[in-house]
Chain A
Amino acid sequence: MTEQLRSHRAYPSYPGPLCASDGANGNVASMPGVISYGSYIPYFRLRREAIAAALGTLGGKGTRSVASYDEDSTSMAVEAGRAALRGVPESAQPRALYFSTTRPAYLDKTNATVIHAALQLGADAPAYDMIGAVRSAAGALKAALDSAQPTLAVAADWRTGLPGGADERDGGDGAAAILCGNGGGDLPLVAEYLGGASATAEVLDRWRQPGDLASRSWEERFGEFAYLPLAESAVTNAFKEVGLAPAEIDHVAVAGTHARSARQFTKQLAGSGVSPGALADDLGAVVGNTGAAHPGLLLCSMLDSAGADETIALVVLADGVDVLLFRTTEAVTQGVGRRDGGLAGQIAATRDDLAYAKMQTWRGVYRLEPPRRPDPVPPAAPPSYRSEEWKFAFVGSRCDCGTRHLPPSRVCMSCGAVDHMVSEPLAGVPGTVATFTIDHLAYSESPPAVVAVVDFDGGGRYTCELTDVDPGQVAIGTRVEMTFRRVFTAGGVHNYFWKARPIRGSGAASPRLPAR
């Protein structure tokens, strides 16, 4: 069965470079840049005052985003990747995938292959992890922009520190995906990549040993001493490289591992001729610093608010400095990234009432008494391999008679035909709760488990867990959409699969991004 269904998989045939790069043979000159982009912010945010209330510390203002108990860097990257690829034409489908995070779900084993599978990229498209350091994300983005073929640079992170500390308070969780490639012809870019510059130095400012929850960092003022000259040098070189003056920059954001330097350098930019109105919000007040995801998130945020033909500067301070300069096109205003309100719309649909103890439980800081049930059994490798399309991409099958089957089936439950099925992707199809229950006894990393029978628009039913949900708010008729999650981890194996979540409303009562 699997072989037969796999034969229906889309392996997009890439026609080669869309046009000649030098334009000398009469073709339109191609230009590297951003084809599409997407961001992901988890449903839950923690008010920083909740930390103060729990620990008796000073706490802080605003909120930070918190990945749910069933999310990790890989699952959030899938969500951002789905957002970036929604509606992207076949010719622009990624021919390579670069994944960055400082919190990889696996070592030795590539995490990008999970994202690759969930996004249904072609088997001939490579998928690489560029993981460990925050700077990997800047490197992945630059590498994707330098690639001749459409390449997806996706970064996801969850950031924390020891209870009561600045990293716990100021960190954030989220993901961003930037689809890069050569535009021109019938493949419009939302922003052209103008170029950039880097500066590198060996600085022991922030570090963490594998397996540790919290990072360590050197005395704060030292980082400032090390970073600021590097940043000045890289930005000056970048402006020179592309022939832009500071006053010509319309949007600039500074991401970095050293908060004080990022703030200080942002001020310095304003003093060096960059218009104060060009300084973009750093998302610190509402989302927090999302580490490896932050450069991409800031780029998404700037693209969301930019008009056509505007310049964007992204500065990343992380063990050196990377500067990337873009110029938006007309396409940015109709850009796919702005659907559903873009990043600001996503944030508006989240909630900020997460309890501190809940976050610490999800992070594994508090270990709760488990139910008196056996631990879950890890998924086995061969059946997971055989059902890759189903497990990772939520692809069912559809009979010639039109009946949908989840999971894919060889024999039709309606007409009985054998092997008259084609693959039917259902991850993007919304559904309705037919009936549901709240399971107080089932194993869950955040009990109780809410399980619903979901009927999909256009046919097909599946029984699955609900997530990002208030058990008291579920009803027969609740509208849901599918989301990629880490259902549980057992025996060192992460069980990735799809859950349903209530379709996020407009979130009228939720906070908005502060105006810049």
Chain B
Amino acid sequence: MASNGIRDKVAVVGMGCTRFGERWDAGVDEMLVDAATEALDSAGMSLGDIDAFWLGTVGNYSGLTLSKPLKIDNKPVTRVENFCATGSEALRNASYAVASGAYDVVMAIGVEKLKDSGYSGLVLATGWTDGTEAELTAPAMFSLLAPAYSGKYGVDMDTLKDVFTHIAWKNHRNGALNPRAQFRREVPKEVIKASPPIAGMLGIFDASGVSDGSAAAVIVRAEDAPRYQEKPLYVKALSFVAGAGKGPIDPGYDYTTFTEVVASAEDAYSQAGVTDPRAELAFAEVHDCFTPTEMVLMEDLGFAPRGTAWKEVLAGTFDLDGTLPINPDGGLKSFGHPLGASGLRMLFEAWLQLRGDAGDRQIGNGRKLALTHNLGGMPGAAVSFVSIWGSEPAAC
């Protein structure tokens, strides 16, 4: 399989991101206008400079979702959807459009309005089915990782609970430093640990926030980037895979890994020429939809050898001041998870960190690469996106 990538062919020259959270004050239209306007401002552009748009959203249909509120007249607006990796899918397709030469300047924008449903949890429309698929909630799906990991690596459930608690504690701590995050306060470990159960051994604090929000990026050819932006972000790798969904039907799958993440990470590292991600990356934004997910991702992304992520988490390896900070912006856990916006929100943290604009949570390890990882689906049946971005155009 050839996956040539578009390393250093396109660059991000502007970004915007709304505050995430329970946005009773704003609808889809307002949030799109806010994110798009902030992205255009930071690129020094106006809406008329954009040749084409890619809109990522799960719950809204068609390009009109974007063109109507922004009054975009007769330009291409493509709506994409790919589960929780929807925002990344918009980013990926927009980047390819520029790399192909079809357009000079494009916008990738993601949005989600989850809190108007009247339900506190994630509610998605389902299709017409024969009613035979088990009705699992998202936390239940991801909670399947815990007993499987415990059994495979002999980590007792009490220790795992401490691991998950540390992940939630860390992401809340990071989010407390982030003015755009949904949850902006530290939460003591004993509170996290004692939170009411939602599925398996997961409590309410093991789950990411259900939120509203929008994020946007303006993308141009790398050689054009200096015309718009003093400090652009250059693409190093974009990899997306969909698994065959075999986990739930294949006795060979053991629920301790996302095979799709392993495949997309390998592809991305190969595109970017990264051989030792733990040493080369300044930080990573990963899809911490639930705390066990973040633990397993540390192994799937090659940040920790198999069976050791739990130890590394407890040792603080992935804390803000650790060897490889993970989710410095608070992650899905604390920043929130408006599905269509999340992939672009991850890129937004790379935008801030690699350009030195991350304020109180600025990482100062001197490395110039950042990774974003965005997951959709469930263990055993997922789509996975990995991207790598750098602050310098040539290989770093």
Interface residues in chain A, defined as those with a beta carbon under 8 Å from any beta carbon in chain B: 372-374, 376-380, 382-384, 386-387, 390-391, 405-407, 413, 434-443, 449, 451, 453, 455, 459-465, 476, 487-488, 495, 497
B130 contacts A386, C-beta separation under 8 Å: yes
B364 lies within 8 A of chain A by Cβ: no
Report B-chain residues with C-beta under 8 Å of the C-beta of A460.
249, 251
Question: Which residue of A has the minimal Cβ distance to B147?
Answer: A435
Taking a contact as CB atoms under 8 Å apart, the answer to whether B198 and A440 are in contact is yes
Number of A-B contacts (CB under 8 A): 120
Neighbouring A residues of B250 by C-beta, 8 Å: 413, 461
**C-alpha gap A348/B246 in the complex (Å):** 39
Residues facing A in B211-265 (CB within 8 A) are 244, 246, 248-251, 253, 255
Are A438 and B251 closer than 8 Å at their CB atoms? no
Q: Which of B198-212 contact A (CB under 8 A)?
A: 198-200
Tell me if B24 is interfacial: C-beta within 8 Å of chain A.
no
B136 at the interface (CB under 8 A from A): yes
Cα distance A391–B128 in the bound complex, in angstroms: 14
Instruction: Tell me, in angstroms, the Cα distance from A97 to B48 when the chains sit together.
Output: 71
Asked if B95 CB lies within 8 Å of chain A CBs, one says no
Residues on the B chain within 8 Å of A383, using CB: 128-130
Say whether chain A's binding surface is mostly helix, strand, loop, or mixed.
Answer: mixed
Residues of B within 8 A of A413 (CB): 244, 246, 249-250
User: Given the complex, which residues of B lie within 8 Å of A387, measured CB to CB?
Assistant: 130, 132
- A440-B198, A441-B140 are contacts. A406–B249 as well, Cβ < 8 Å? yes
Q: Please measure, in the bound complex, the distance between the C-alpha atom of A233 and the C-alpha atom of B272, giving whole angstroms.
A: 94
Cβ-defined contact, A459 with B251, below 8 A: yes
Q: How far is the CA of A497 from the CA of B129 in the complex (A)?
A: 13
A328 to B107, CA, bound (A): 82
- Given A437-B143, A442-B140, output 15 extra A-B contacts at Cβ < 8 Å: A373-B123, A374-B119, A378-B131, A382-B128, A391-B132, A413-B250, A435-B144, A439-B199, A440-B197, A441-B121, A443-B135, A460-B249, A461-B250, A476-B147, A497-B132
Instruction: Find A390's partner among B130, B139, B147 (CB 8 Å cutoff).
Output: B130
**Chain A residues in 8 Å Cβ range of B118:** 372
- Are the CB atoms of B131 and A436 closer together than 8 Å? no
Q: How large is the interface on B (under 10, 10 to 19, 20 to 34, 35 or more residues)?
A: 20 to 34
Instruction: Give the Cβ gap from B180 to chain A, nearest Cβ, in Å.
Output: 27
Distance between B206 CB and nearest chain A CB, rounded to angstroms: 12
Q: Is the CB of A380 within 8 A of B130?
A: yes
| A372 adjacent to B119 (CB under 8 Å) | yes
Query: What's the Cα separation between A172 and B135 when bound, in Å?
Result: 30
B137 within 8 Å of A (CB atoms): yes
What secondary structure prevails in chain B residues at the interface with A?
Answer: loop
Which of B132, B200, B249 contacts A438 (CB under 8 A)?
A: B200
Is B74 located at the chain interface by the 8 A CB criterion? Answer: no
In the complex, chain B residues 125-152 whose Cβ is within 8 Å of any chain A Cβ: 126, 128-132, 134-137, 139-140, 143-144, 147-148, 151
CB pair B130 A476 closer than 8 Å: no
Tell me, yes or no, whether B120 is within 8 Å of chain A by CB: yes
Instruction: Chain A residues near B197: list those with CB within 8 A.
Output: 438, 440
A390 to B140, CA, bound (A): 24
Q: Which residues in A have their C-beta under 8 angstroms from that of B137?
A: 373, 439, 441-442
A-B contact pairs, 11 of them (CB 8 A): A379-B130, A379-B132, A382-B128, A383-B130, A407-B132, A413-B249, A440-B198, A451-B140, A453-B144, A461-B250, A495-B131
Closest to B381 in A: A463
In the complex, which residues of chain A have a beta carbon less than 8 angstroms from the beta carbon of B251?
A: 434, 455, 459-461
- How distant is A13 from chain B, measured CB to nearest CB, in Å? 29
Tell me, rounded to whole Å, the shortest Cβ–Cβ distance linking A232 to chain B: 51
Q: Do residues B132 and A440 form an inter-chain contact, with CB atoms below 8 A?
A: no
Interchain CB contact under 8 A, A374 and B136: no
In the complex, A387→B132 CA distance in Å?
10
Give A148 Cβ to nearest chain B Cβ, in Å. 36
A462-B144 contact in complex given A380-B128, A441-B198, C-beta closer than 8 Å? no
State in angstroms the CA–CA spacing of A441 and B202 once bound together. 12
Which residue of B has the minimal Cβ distance to A497?
B132
What's the nearest-Cβ distance from chain A to residue B380, in Å? 9
Chain A residue with Cβ nearest B123: A374
CB-based contact B130/A453 at 8 Å: no
CA distance A513 to B255 in the complex (A): 44
Closest chain-B Cβ to A447's Cβ sits at a distance in Å of 11
Cα-based distance from A413 to B252 in the complex (angstroms): 11
Report B-chain residues with C-beta under 8 Å of the C-beta of A455.
Answer: 251
Q: Let me know if A453 and B248 touch, CB within 8 A.
A: yes
Q: Are B144's CB and A436's CB within 8 A?
A: yes
* Across-interface contacts of A465 in B (CB, < 8 A): 134-135
Closest to B126 in A: A377
Residues of A close to B143: CB separation below 8 A: 437
In the complex formed, the residue of B with least CB distance to A493 is B131
Q: A383–B133 Cα gap in the complex (Å)?
A: 12
Chain B residues near A449 (CB, 8 Å)? 135-136, 140
Cβ contact of A437, chosen from B120, B129, B140, B248, cutoff 8 A:
B140
A487 and B148 within 8 A (CB): no
Which A residues lie within 8 Å of B120 (CB)? 372
Most buried by A among B123, B199, B248: B199
- Given the complex of chains A and B, what is the CA–CA distance between A94 and B64 in angstroms? 58
Residues of B within 8 A of A451 (CB): 134, 136, 140
Contacts of B128 in A (CB 8 A): 377, 380, 382-383
CA distance A440 to B128 in the complex (A): 25
Q: How far is the CB of B138 from chain A (nearest CB, A)?
A: 9
Q: When chains A and B are docked, how far (Å) is the Cα of A373 from the Cα of B137?
A: 10
In the complex, which residues of chain A have a beta carbon less than 8 angstroms from the beta carbon of B121?
372-373, 441
Q: Which of A373, A384, A413, A435 has the most CB of B within 10 A?
A: A435
